[in-house]
Amino acid sequence: MSERKYFGTDGIRGHVGEAPITPEFMLKLGWAAGQAFKQDGQRNSVLIGKDTRLSGYMFESALEAGLSAAGVDVKLLGPMPTPAIAYLTRTFRASAGIVISASHNPHHDNGIKFFSAAGTKLDDALEAEIERWLDKPIEVCEPAELGKASRVDDAPGRYVEFCKSTVPNEFTLEGMKIVLDCAHGATYHVAPKVFSELGATVTVIGGNPDGLNINLNVGSTHLDGLRAAVLEKEADLGIAFDGDGDRVLMVDRDGSEVDGDELLYVIASQRFAEDRLRGGVVGTLMTNLGVELALKEIGIQFERANVGDRYVMERLKANNWVLGGEGSGHMVIRDCTSTGDGIISALQVLFSVWKSGKTLAELRQGMSKLPQKLINVRVGQRFDPFSRDDIVAAVRRAEAELGRSGRILLRASGTEPLIRVMAEGQDENEILRVVEGLAQVVEKSTA
């Protein structure tokens, strides 16, 4: 397939007010999506949800107008986690779901994600179809065929009950003290209900969105506040979501960070012990080598996919496996839901804690992460680092230096103008030196 013009690895994202994140483009995108998702012979509907960014109001209205012009009905969900839109798209039998969010980015960014009628990320062919319609002039349907818009007032309650339904009825969090960091984002009004209704004593930070403070020194990319709250409250653990609620990280009772790689290991090893893992585990090119080694040691198959939860999902489906994830906290648990879900992933970790009778610290002891260093090199525009001869030569020299005891990865970010430079191996000092050297080569190459 040819290079996509607008879609990255996770939808369309950018700075508010700069193309394509403008009201004019969103109007056209709504119309194009309406045309691409339309099914002949039936009344079509699309759900729109958003996180807590101030710009969400503007883009919600523009998308609604575009969809209506295409003759598609719109159901407005308001602020809801990204995975909630995936779930509600399925339950409402909608043609598609649209999420207005820039995930873990600051408030001045925003973006669009789509879900299919099955609640999954779009495949490349459907994204290409939307882009094909974007190249055409808007043609408004007949006035009598315009789409109608309505609000779904009970969306939060529906999603809370769904999250609770993914764990057995006998599961309880009674006696457990948990701190939740909702990143002033889309989980602020649903996550506290889920965990408190299951019996936990819940303290919330990052739960007062004002449209501008989403991800601001809170959430899964800023764990210091959560760490301090866990220690102050003497909580059993802390849970941090990102702005749109599709990823989760944790903090142990002693303040130690537990990243997505470790959480994936905790869920996989406990499921395997209970004979309910159903196949192997899918990680990504960025997954720490320690995860792979620890899983294989206990007899669990492991496979790497390209970075991005959509690619993890592709490999899971191909293998008919159910569990995969990324170090950033994106986890896919296919026998629970159709996409990455921070709340549901956290519940699966807590179920492992409850079922095993062990603490989170004890459950994560089964794996040791190898030293890994990542440097993000900001560039003017995205490009394939392996298209530059000087970068390729530097990578080959570094690989020869590390030998079989290490691993190197260079990739362009799918959501930001960054080249991610990563090295991993046995010797931390050697890894740091190698990755800093490669980052300098990338910087010089793009200067």
User: To 5 degrees, how large is the angle CA 128–CA 52–CA 102?
Assistant: 35
> How many Å apart are CA 258 and CA 363, to the nearest integer?
11
371 within 8 A of 289, measured Cβ to Cβ: no
CA distances from 182 to 1, 106, 189, 200 (A): 38, 14, 9, 16
Tell which residue, 382, 308, 309, 310, has the closest CA to residue 5. 382
Question: What token pair was written down for 410?
Answer: 């260079």
Indicate the pairing of strand 248-252 with strand 281-284.
unpaired
CA distances from 117 to 9, 92, 156, 163 (A): 19, 9, 20, 19
Choose the catalytic residue: 103, 220, 269, 445. 103
Torsion of CA 6, 8, 13, 18, to 10 degrees: -40
Torsion of CA 216, 217, 220, 225, to 10 degrees: -140
Known catalytic residue at 356: no
88 within 8 A of 163, measured Cβ to Cβ: no
Residue 23: asked if its preceding bond is cis (omega within 30°), the reply is no
Phi, psi of 339 (to 5 degrees): -155, 175
> How many Å apart are CA 446 and CA 242, to the nearest integer?
31
193 within 8 A of 161, measured Cβ to Cβ: no
With a CB cutoff of 8 Å and minimum separation 6, the contacts of 369 are 261, 262, 288, 290, 291
> How many Å apart are CA 200 and CA 176, to the nearest integer?
5
Amino acid at residue number 5: K
CB burial of residue 108 (10 Å; 0-12, 13-18, 19+):
middle
Percent helix, strand, coil in the chain, to 5, is: 40, 20, 40
Active site residues: 103
